[in-house]
């Protein structure tokens, strides 16, 4: 049974109306002022989609193949939508990732809080590098991947002289923090990520900072 706070936490993040004009302005500046000029066309749209998906889920830990298949409807459309300042695809994909991630992180916490015993004698292996794996086909396949990933983390902690109970507590805390961070994402975070997926196609050092990120950056740089 989900609590009211849990239900509120997974409410979709909505775009702000002012982001339409801002997105168009950013696209115009990239297209007309960046030294690495690029055509705004279907080829760029395909790379834009791939870049954003990679930023959303670089280790292929949460999204399923069915999500990726659904996102492919924008493969040749993001360029046209960008010209109109339409950021809805970015928010749709982020909300899907957020929902899948929160569900899986809750499942991880539940597994660690249960009396599940990890079999350290079983002959199992896991590929952690997302580039070496395909997207998970089903939630069950994803759950099994996470079971082995948690088991791998447990082994590493035990080899570093952590007590089994302390190791579980540490992983529960880690997943709880990740879940909280995902729940606290807001419209600025989504917009910044979506724009930076586009900016990265021009060069890896071109980035858009949201007002909050800019403020934090200035605070850190001035050490005040």
Whether the Cβ atoms of residue 142 and residue 104 lie closer than 8 Å to each other: yes
- Tell me how far the alpha carbon of residue 197 is from its chain's centroid: 12
Whether the Cβ atoms of residue 164 and residue 153 lie closer than 8 Å to each other: no
Whether the Cβ atoms of residue 71 and residue 135 lie closer than 8 Å to each other: no
Number of C-beta neighbours around residue 193 at 10 A? 19
Torsion on CA atoms 133, 134, 139, 143, rounded to nearest 10: -10
Paired residues of 136 in beta bridges? 64
* pLDDT at position 186: 96
Closest by CA to 135, choosing from 70, 57, 52, 64, is: 64
- Tell me how far the alpha carbon of residue 207 is from its chain's centroid: 17
pLDDT in tens, the chain (224 residues): 344 444 445 799 999 999 999 999 998 888 775 545 678 899 999 999 999 999 999 999 999 999 999 999 999 999 999 999 999 999 999 999 999 999 999 999 999 999 999 999 999 999 999 999 999 999 999 999 999 999 999 999 999 999 999 999 999 999 999 999 999 999 999 999 999 999 988 876 566 665 665 555 555 656 65
Residue 123 host element (H or E): none
Question: How far is the C-alpha of 143 from the C-alpha of 108, rounded, in Å?
Answer: 8
* pLDDT at position 107: 98
* pLDDT at position 39: 83
* pLDDT at position 143: 98
> How buried is 90 (Cβ within 10 angstroms: 0-12 exposed, 13-18 middle, 19+ buried)?
buried
Structure tokens at 93: 């994909």
* pLDDT at position 8: 42
Question: How far is the C-alpha of 190 from the C-alpha of 103, rounded, in Å?
Answer: 19
């Amino acid at each position: 049974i989900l609590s009211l706070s849990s239900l509120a936490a997974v409410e979709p993040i909505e775009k702000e109306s002012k982001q339409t004009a801002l997105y168009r302005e950013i696209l115009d500046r990239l297209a007309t002022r960046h030294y690495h000029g690029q055509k705004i066309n279907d080829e760029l749209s395909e790379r834009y989609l791939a870049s954003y998906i990679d930023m959303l889920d670089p280790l292929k830990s949460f999204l399923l193949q069915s999500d990726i298949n659904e996102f492919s409807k924008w493969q040749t459309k993001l360029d046209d939508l960008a010209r109109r300042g339409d950021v809805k695809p970015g928010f749709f994909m982020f909300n899907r990732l957020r929902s899948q991630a929160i569900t899986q992180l809750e499942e991880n916490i539940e597994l660690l809080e249960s009396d599940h015993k990890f079999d350290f004698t079983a002959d199992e292996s896991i590929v952690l590098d997302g580039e070496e794996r395909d997207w998970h086909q089903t939630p069950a396949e994803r759950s099994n991947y996470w079971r082995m990933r948690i088991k791998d983390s447990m082994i590493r902690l035990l080899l570093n002289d952590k007590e089994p109970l302390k190791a579980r507590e540490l992983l529960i805390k880690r997943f709880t923090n990740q879940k909280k961070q995902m729940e606290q994402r807001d419209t600025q975070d989504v917009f910044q990520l979506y724009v930076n997926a586009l900016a990265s196609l021009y060069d890896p050092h071109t980035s858009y900072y949201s007002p909050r990120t800019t403020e934090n950056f200035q605070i850190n740089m001035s050490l005040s």
